[in-house]
């Protein structure tokens, strides 16, 4: 072991190199470099900080404090292991060996939250964990500039830093000449790949309601192009500062960025919840509770009154079904998608915000809020104005492997409408714009809320007719709930007292806090969750990580029987009650139901629970005029039953048959009378054809014409 110099804490550079050489040799990295260099196109060797710490704790510490010189030393040492013949080969091509040493797995104590990075961290080696929010296109950056003196044509090499281009201070050829003038020789200069990105704090770490903060980071060389928006990563690197570019005068306030040395891509979803043995014990015990479904459901948004069935389904959504890969390699999603359509003031927004805080990787966004990335992802011009493009993740990509809560989804922008479809169907988002092509993962469950088309529910129309969403999107939801704000004296009284109680408890807590007095635990179970928030999060994460239920024979039989029955009964009438999509939804709900109990087996009870939910759902969206279910109302996404649709098409056909001339109202009435369509109904149908489908219009003379 080479000793430190005892005076001061600065390790001499050649000492650093020697210690690295010793470490690389002992750890076997040296032999690795010697035997593999040139056989792969790898430009880096990766070492774990833990290993360095085992061999040479002083070097390991020194690295965290003085990363710039210590990493440079590491690279010098690593390059020394490259076999001489390989170096000759490089030299012949005018290159020098430049192995990068990438250091990962640094101590947890040096893992810093974005929001906590301060001046004290400047020029230190830290780890930052989070989600990639956006990535800018990879670009070349001038690394070693070769200048030519305009006077004596002497060449000067200048190693460049990241932000500003450095010119030579003196020409070694003409020496003290005052009039320095150089020309950059781009052909002979060396460029390296560089990429800028932003990392955002992951939602798990945030306290309720906090906005995630972001940090700019730069990647270089072989690190570029490796990560994409939505990836969950740990970036290890050096904190550096650059002057704010606010004015022309050199500013004294600096912006901080991370000069990334290595990336660890996180594969696991919920590792943020390090579960202790006691946690696991508590969870397993809780899962055995005979009342567990109600307990979990009632722990969801306890301040929101009622909505028992909704909360039950939301509970299942948290746990989720199991993602499967079919033999032909198509993926069947396990994520459950839920849509809440409701009158204003029915606590939709409140529920979504609540869920986004307790769901794994929960992201809340409003369809209305126009962020650059929209709800899915987008290529947008980089805000530095350098003409580059940034690939930026929206809510659904950031919520990959978690849950996206999208409020007012009916008000989303038109760009989002098309990309939402891909996100819901394939669970990916593709971007192809300005030379950026990427497919990002969006494997999230979606909880969406919408208001009825005209603000309030129209009781003369079906629910689906009043959802202002493209039909293909509507049909991707496993369950749709309608929340109507109907006055009901008894329920209203209970709702009022619930809201009042919540508010009084909150006021009391506020009062106690202000007075600094001891806060009594509140024992009222109607507003205090049966399962503590933190515990529930851990429970969900444990279940999703460890439990993958499969159907038992009896459960499969029951599903099969239900499906066949539903199809048979209604096929007699020429309508279809449920389709394969609903069967998949039933399976997902059953899986979630088993998971909630931490059971590897889906039993009859789980299936009955999901059938109950499905029946309720069909009742909401597919109850046709004659009281039977007609899934066409839902499956076509139009909300129109087959009988009604037949009538619409019949009337439309008559109008179309009339050709360019059109038809008068009277004639149309005469022709539709035999079809058992009365005058009032005809007016209604005409209205629909005109306003909702724009298939027909009435000209100035009152003739009804088809639009094509
Ligand atoms: P929406 O998004 O459906 O229009 P909000 O979530 O904004 O409705 O709710 C409006 C207000 O009414 C919220 O403050 C909410 O707490 C309250 N509220 C509505 N319904 C309930 C309920 N069932 N229980 C408790 N509070 C409710
Ligand atoms: Mg709202």
Q: Could you state, in order of their start, the residue ranges of all structural domains in the chain? A: 9-105, 115-265, 362-443, 548-635, 642-706
* Top-tier CATH class for 548-635: mainly alpha
- Examine the pLDDT at 330 and tell me if it is beyond 60: yes
Q: What is the pLDDT of residue 293?
A: 93
Ligand whose nearest atom lies closest to the CA of 346: 1
Domain 9-105 class in CATH: alpha beta
Distance 474 CA to ligand 1 centre (A): 24
Which residue's CA is minimally distant from atom 17 of ligand 1? 347
Architecture category of domain 115-265 in CATH: Beta Barrel (2.40)
User: Is the CB of residue 342 below 6 angstroms from any atom belonging to ligand 1?
Assistant: yes
**pLDDT at residue 331 tops 50:** yes
Give burial (CB, 10 Å; 0-12/13-18/19+) of 376.
Answer: buried
Q: What's the mean pLDDT in 463-488?
A: 81
Distance (angstroms) between ligand 1 centre and the Cα of 351 equals: 8
* Pocket flag, ligand 1, residue 664 (CB < 6 Å): no
Chain centre distance of CA 330:
21
Question: To test the ligand 1 pocket, which listed residue (346, 457, 506) has its Cβ within 8 A of the most ligand atoms?
Answer: 346
Write out pLDDT tens, residues 103-147. 999 998 888 888 888 888 999 999 999 889 888 888 888 888 888
Where residue 230 falls among pLDDT bands split at 50, 70, 90? confident
Q: 14 pLDDT exceeds 50?
A: yes
CA of 508 to the centre of ligand 2 (A): 27
pLDDT of residue 72 exceeding 60, the answer is: yes
Number of the ligand 1 atom closest to the C-alpha atom of 346: 3
Nearest by Cα to 322 from 552, 587, 539, 599: 587
Closest by Cα among 571, 393, 366, 327 to 448: 366
- Asked if residue 140 has its Cβ within 6 Å of ligand 1, the reply is no
Report which DSSP code applies to 37: B
Q: Whose CA is nearest to atom 21 of ligand 1?
A: 347
d(CA 464, CA 69): 65
For residue 198, the number of C-alpha atoms closer than 13 Å in the C-beta half-sphere is: 16
- Is residue 650 lining ligand 1, measured as CB closer than 6 Å? no
pLDDT band at 636 (very low <50, low <70, confident <90, very high): low
Reported as a pLDDT band with limits 50, 70 and 90, residue 204 is: low
Predicted local distance difference test score (pLDDT) of residue 508: 73
CA of 311 relative to ligand 2 center, distance in Å: 17
Task: Please write the tens of the pLDDT for every residue from 526-574.
Answer: 567 788 888 898 899 899 989 999 999 999 999 999 888 877 765 555 5
Q: How far is the CA of 450 from the centre of ligand 2 (A)?
A: 8
* Ligand number, closest to the Cα atom of 498: 1
The Cα-based distances of 678 to 71, 106, 647, 651, 683 in angstroms read: 85, 78, 11, 12, 9
381 lines ligand 1 (CB under 6 A): no
Q: Give the tens place of pLDDT for each residue, 411-440.
A: 888 878 888 888 888 888 888 777 777 888
pLDDT at 182: 81
Q: Is 346 in the pocket of ligand 1 (CB under 6 A)?
A: yes
Q: For all residues of the chain together, what is the average pLDDT?
A: 82
Instruction: Tell me how far apart the alpha carbons of residues 460 and 464 are, in angstroms, rounded to a whole number.
Output: 12
Q: Are 436 and 379 in contact (CB under 8 A)?
A: yes
Which of 169-173, 460-464, 501-505, 562-566 reaches the highest mean pLDDT? 562-566
- pLDDT, mean of residues 264-276: 68
The residue whose CB lies within 8 Å of the most ligand 1 atoms, and thus the one to mutate among 314, 347, 452, 495, is 347
Q: How far is CA 655 from CA 42, 79, 151, 677, 685, in A?
A: 70, 82, 86, 15, 12
Q: Is the pLDDT of residue 695 over 80?
A: no
Ligand 2 centroid vs 341 CA: distance in angstroms? 10
**291 or 437, higher pLDDT:** 291
Superfamily of domain 362-443: P-loop containing nucleotide triphosphate hydrolases (3.40.50.300)
The 10 Å CB-count burial string (b at 16+, else e) for 82-99 is beeeebeebeeeeeebbb
Alpha-carbon Rg for the chain, nearest whole angstrom, is 32
DSSP codes, 434-466: TTEEEEEE---EEEEEE--TTSS--TTS-TGGG
**Global pTM value:** 0.75
Helix (H, G, I), strand (E, B) or coil at 635: helix
CB of residue 306 inside a 6 A radius of ligand 1: yes
pLDDT surpasses 70 at 210: no
pLDDT of residue 248: 61
- 343 CA from centroid of ligand 2 (Å): 9
Burial-class residue 468 by CB neighbours within 10 Å (0-12, 13-18, 19+): middle
Residue nearest to atom 6 of ligand 1 (CA): 347
Q: What is the pLDDT confidence band of residue 7, given thresholds at 50, 70 and 90?
A: very low
Q: What is the pLDDT of residue 675?
A: 77
3-class DSSP state for residue 265? strand
Q: 345 CB under 6 A from ligand 1? A: yes
- Helix ranges restricted to H, 623-702: 632-635, 642-657, 665-672, 679-691
How far is the centre of ligand 1, averaged over its atoms, from the C-alpha of 310 (Å)? 14
pLDDT for 5 beyond 60: no
Q: How many Å lie between the centroid of ligand 1 and the Cα of residue 572?
A: 43
Q: At what angle do helices 308-319 and 604-621 cross, to 10 degrees?
A: 120
Residue ID of nearest Cα to ligand 1 atom 15: 347
Element (H, E) at 220: strand 214-220
Q: Name the range with the highest mean pLDDT among 301-310, 518-527, 544-553, 568-577.
A: 544-553
Mutate to test the pocket of ligand 1, among 340, 344, 350, 456 (most ligand atoms within 8 A of CB): 350
pLDDT above 70 covers a percentage of the chain that reads: 85
Residue pair 398/200 in contact (Cβ under 8 Å)? The answer is yes
Tokens of 653: 């056909």
Ligand minimally distant from the alpha carbon of residue 341: 1
């Amino acid at each position: 072991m080479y000793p430190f110099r005892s005076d001061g804490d600065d390790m001499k550079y050649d000492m650093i190199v020697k210690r690295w050489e010793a470490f690389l040799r002992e750890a076997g990295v040296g032999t690795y470099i010697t035997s593999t260099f040139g056989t792969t196109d790898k430009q880096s060797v990766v070492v774990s900080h833990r290993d360095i710490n085992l061999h040479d704790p002083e070097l390991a510490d020194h690295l965290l404090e003085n990363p710039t010189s210590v990493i440079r030393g590491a690279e010098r040492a690593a390059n020394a292991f490259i076999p001489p013949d390989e170096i000759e080969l490089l030299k012949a091509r005018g290159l020098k060996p430049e192995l990068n040493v990438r250091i990962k797995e640094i101590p947890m104590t040096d893992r810093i939250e974005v929001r906590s990075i301060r001046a004290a961290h400047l020029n230190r080696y830290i780890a930052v964990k989070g989600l990639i929010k956006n990535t800018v296109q990879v670009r070349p950056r001038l690394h070693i500039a070769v200048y030519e003196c305009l006077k004596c044509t002497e060449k000067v090499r200048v190693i460049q830093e990241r932000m500003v281009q450095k010119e030579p201070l003196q020409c070694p050829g003409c020496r003290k000449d005052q009039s320095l003038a150089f020309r950059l020789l781009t052909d002979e200069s060396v460029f390296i790949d560089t990429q800028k990105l932003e990392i955002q704090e992951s939602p798990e770490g945030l306290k309720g309601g906090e906005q995630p903060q972001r940090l700019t980071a730069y990647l270089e060389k072989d690190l570029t192009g490796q990560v994409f928006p939505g990836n969950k990563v740990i970036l290890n690197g050096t904190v550096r500062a650059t002057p704010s570019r606010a004015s022309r005068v050199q500013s004294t306030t600096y912006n901080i960025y991370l000069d990334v040395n290595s990336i660890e891509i996180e594969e696991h979803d919920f590792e943020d919840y390090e579960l202790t043995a006691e946690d696991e014990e508590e969870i397993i015990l809780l899962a055995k509770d005979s009342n567990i479904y109600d307990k979990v459901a009632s722990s969801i948004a306890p301040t929101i009154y009622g909505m028992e069935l909704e909360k039950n389904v939301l509970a299942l959504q948290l746990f989720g079904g199991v993602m499967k890969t079919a033999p032909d390699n198509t993926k069947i999603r396990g994520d459950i998608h839920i849509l809440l359509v409701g009158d204003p003031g029915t606590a939709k927004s409140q529920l979504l915000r609540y869920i986004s805080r307790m769901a794994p990787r929960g992201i809340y966004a409003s369809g209305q809020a126009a962020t650059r990335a929209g709800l899915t992802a987008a290529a947008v011009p980089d805000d530095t104005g350098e003409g580059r493009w940034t690939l930026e993740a929206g809510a659904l990509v950031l919520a990959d492997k978690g849950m996206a809560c999208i409020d007012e989804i009916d008000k989303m922008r038109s760009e989002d409408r098309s990309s939402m479809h891909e996100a819901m169907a394939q669970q990916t988002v593709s971007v192809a714009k300005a030379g950026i092509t990427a497919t990002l993962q969006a494997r999230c469950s979606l909880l969406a809320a919408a208001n009825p088309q005209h603000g309030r529910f129209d009781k003369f129309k079906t629910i689906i007719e009043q959802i202002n969403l493209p039909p293909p999107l509507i049909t991707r939801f496993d369950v749709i709930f309608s929340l109507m704000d109907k006055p009901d004296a008894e329920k209203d009284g209970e709702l009022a007292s619930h809201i009042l109680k919540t508010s009084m408890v909150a006021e009391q807590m506020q009062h106690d806090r202000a007075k600094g007095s001891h806060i009594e635990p509140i024992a009222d179970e109607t507003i205090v969750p049966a399962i503590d928030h933190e515990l529930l999060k851990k429970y969900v994460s444990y279940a999703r990580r460890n439990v993958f239920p499969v159907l038992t024979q009896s459960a499969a039989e029951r599903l099969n029987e239900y499906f066949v029955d539903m199809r048979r009964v209604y096929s007699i009438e020429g309508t279809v009650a449920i389709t394969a999509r609903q069967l998949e939804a039933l399976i997902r709900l059953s899986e979630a139901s088993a998971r909630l109990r931490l059971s590897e087996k889906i039993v009859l009870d789980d299936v009955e629970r999901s059938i109950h939910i499905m029946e309720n759902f069909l009742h909401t969206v597919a109850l046709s005029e004659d009281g039977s279910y007609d899934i066409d109302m839902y499956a076509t996404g139009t909300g129109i039953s087959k009988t009604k649709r037949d009538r619409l098409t019949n009337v439309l056909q008559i109008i179309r048959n009339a050709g360019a001339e059109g038809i008068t109202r009277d004639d149309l009435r005469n022709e539709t009378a035999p079809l058992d369509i009365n005058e009032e109904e005809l007016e209604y149908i005409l209205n629909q054809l005109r306003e909702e489908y724009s298939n027909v219009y009435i000209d100035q003379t009152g003739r009804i014409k088809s639009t094509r």
